[in-house]
């Protein structure tokens, strides 16, 4: 099976993909910086839509850029 990775350039694009059920069986990579609590929420959201794994450009402590 082919590995499909979707690229998100913003939180809004990630939310749009999930809300429209476009992440099923896909990997998602976000090019923006994500805080730990947002990352945990995004992982849960991705899994709830039957997505595979989430990766980000940079993961930071909440409140740190």
Residue 1 in this model has a pLDDT that exceeds 80: no
Q: What is the pTM of this model?
A: 0.91
User: What pLDDT is attached to residue 65?
Assistant: 62
Give the pLDDT confidence score for residue 62 in this predicted structure. Answer: 85
Q: Which of helix, strand or coil describes residue 59?
A: strand
pLDDT for position 7: 98
Structure tokens at 44: 């849960």
Q: Looking at residue 39, what DSSP letter applies?
A: H
What confidence tens digit (pLDDT) does each residue in 14-64 have? 999 999 999 999 999 999 999 999 999 999 999 999 999 999 999 999 877
Closest CA to 52 of 4, 10, 1: 4
Give the start-end residues of each E strand in 1-65: 5-8, 27-35, 54-60
């Amino acid at each position: 099976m082919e590995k499909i990775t979707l690229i998100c350039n913003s939180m809004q694009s990630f939310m749009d993909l999930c809300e429209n059920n476009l992440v099923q069986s896909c990997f998602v990579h976000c090019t923006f910086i994500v805080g730990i609590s947002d990352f945990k929420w995004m992982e849960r959201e991705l899994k709830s839509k039957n997505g595979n794994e989430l990766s980000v450009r940079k993961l930071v402590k909440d409140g740190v850029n």
